Amino acid sequence: MEATAEALLAWYDAHRRELPWRAPPGERAEPYRVWLSEIMLQQTVAAAAGPYFHRVLERWPDVGALAAASLDEVLQAWQGLGYYARARNLHAAARIVAAQHGGRFPDSEAGLRALPGVGDYTAAAIAAIAFDRKATVVDGNVERVMARLFRIETPLPAAKKAIRNAAEALTPETRPGDYAQAVMDLGATVCLPRRPRCGVCPWSKDCLARAAGTAESLPVKAPKRQRPVRRGIAYWTEDGAGRVLLRRRPENGLLGGMMEVPSGPWVEEGPPPEAPPVEGAWEPLGAVARHGFTHFILELDVRTGRSAGAPPEGCVWAPIDALHDYALPTAMKKVVRLALAGKDRLI
């Protein structure tokens, strides 16, 4: 194997992507921007994360400003990015950095891993890119590059150790931050999942999978299990004054801390139990809101009703025309859209 970091860095110097969180050539990246982008990129592609990055940075230009924001504000700004635990961890980590580290991010992988939401990959990426520490970065793009370069045919996730060993062997002492971004760029723009652009790859002549004609088949992934379906009942409750009942979900767990159209338990077997938030007569809307989460598919049967008076504990009356001001996850926005079908009001 003759692939070298130097060859990849030469390619990167000529072909690096322009990304909003990336520092100009020769300049050190600002840790806050690197951390913010890496949290967003954990489950989001760069093109989708870009607009959110700009909006968050404009609203909270440094970690102190983000720490001073409320969780509701952060969750509302995060709407549409999904995986909302990232937003809760982002807010919690900002407060720790501001309160315990004087607004300065830890500059080691170990120190970064102590922050909420920062695992091995994210800690390595921040350490390398923001502080130029020698750290081995392995995300999905890097896994694909290494599996092909070294022709690692063991299916994932069993192949992860071999892939990491291969990645560590190539990580250089010099320019580790640029190298980390270079290998991720290579996977994102050249070593593509389908129809890899081997003709322009700086490691093409050293790629064992290309030599064997198996590049596109690697990495081998274990078959995906079919996602189960969970069902529940969502209760759209209006008060006659242009307001709808919303409830805050528990801080811990799926969609933690976000607002929802109150719903009963989500179950995989049998009819979903009825659990209306208030007493009253409930009419089936005749529509089901369907949303796919990572590990299951959710189907919510929407029912409508009316109520008045003070909201139950944990609930608020929200003006229907101002629902965009509330941190509603996509699954609940689908419930809202169904309930408002035929009306002129949309969030």
Whether 269 is catalytic? no
Q: What is the C-alpha separation between 73 and 325, in angstroms, rounded?
A: 9
Q: What is the C-alpha separation between 53 and 42, in angstroms, rounded?
A: 13
First to last CA, the chain: 56
Under 8 Å CB-to-CB from 177, ≥6 apart: which residues?
Answer: 28, 29, 128, 129, 130, 131, 132
Of 6, 38, 143, 260, which is the active-site residue?
Answer: 38
* Per-residue b or e along 168-204, where b marks 16 or more CB atoms closer than 10 Å to that residue's CB: eebbeeebbbbbbbbbbbbbbebbeeeebebeebbbb
What does R_g of the chain's alpha carbons equal in angstroms?
24
Q: What's the residue count for the chain?
A: 347
H helices within 5-101, ranges in order? 5-15, 31-40, 46-59, 63-68, 71-78, 85-100
Q: Contact at 8 Å (CB) between 40 and 53?
A: yes
Q: What is the C-alpha separation between 263 and 274, in angstroms, rounded?
A: 9
Q: Contact at 8 Å (CB) between 133 and 107?
A: yes
Q: Which residues are catalytic?
A: 38
